[in-house]
Structure 1
Amino acid sequence: MYKISEFAAITGLTKETLRYYAEVKLLEPAYINPHNNYRYYDDGSYFLATLLGKLRRFGFTIQEMISVTEDESFYHLEDLLIQKRENIQLKIEDLCKQTEEIDDFLKSGREDKNDD
């Protein structure tokens, strides 16, 4: 069993994040000491904590993460990841278009100065 600070260190999640995940029933401690309310996590929690950390870095919302964990078979995880990837790709394309527009705008401003 790991205290919350130890578990945070090995998973890369903060203690605050672990407390919040417990609050929203996303990742609950394996045991809470009734005398001091210390939270303890076990090795079984490690896989889920690692998965949640990855999903968060991939831009999943808390609700999406809850949906993934409720589907214990992770049957829809691949579909969600593909959809998330497609959304990211669309954002990248949009940002590239925006940078091109900025470059064109800057270029047109320079051309106007050269005409003077």
Structure 2
Amino acid sequence: MYKISEFEEMTGLSKETLRYYAEVKLLEPAIIDPENHDRYYDDGSYFLALLLVKLRRFGFTIQEMIDVMADESFAHLEELLQQKKNKIQKQMEDLRLQVEEIDEFLASGMEEDDA
């Protein structure tokens, strides 16, 4: 078992984030001491915390993360990751086109300056 401060160091999730994740039922402590309310996490919690860290880095919203965690078999995780990847690729293409438009606009302005 790991105290919340140890778990914070192990996972990179702040105490505030861990408390919030527990509040929204995303990642609850394995045990909460009834006397002093200390939170303890176990190895299973560690695996789930690492998954949550990855999902956040991949741009998942809290609700999307809750949906993933609700499906304990993670059967749809691959599909969700593929959807997220496709969305990011679309955003990258949109940004590339915006950069091209800016370049064209700047080039047209320079041509007018030269005239």
Shorter-normalised TM range: over 0.9
What is the aligned residue count? 115
Percent identity (aligned): 71
Instruction: Please say if 1:14 is aligned against 2:6.
Output: no
CA distance in 1, matches of 2:100, 2:83: 26
Matching residue's letter, 1:107: A
TM-score by length of 1: 0.96
1:78 equivalent in alignment to 2:78: yes
1:68 corresponds in structure 2 to 68
Q: By how many angstroms is 1:10 displaced? A: 0.5
User: Structure 1 runs of 4+ off > 2 angstroms?
Assistant: none
1:17-74 Cα shifts (integer Å, max 9, x gaps) = 1110000000000111122211111111011000011001101111111111111110
For structure 1, which runs of at least 5 residues remain unmatched after alignment?
A: none
Distance 2:26 2:47 in 1: 13
> Aligned-residue CA RMSD in angstroms?
0.7
- Structure 2: gaps of 5 or more residues: none
Alignment of 1:26-41 (within 5 A): 26-41=26-41
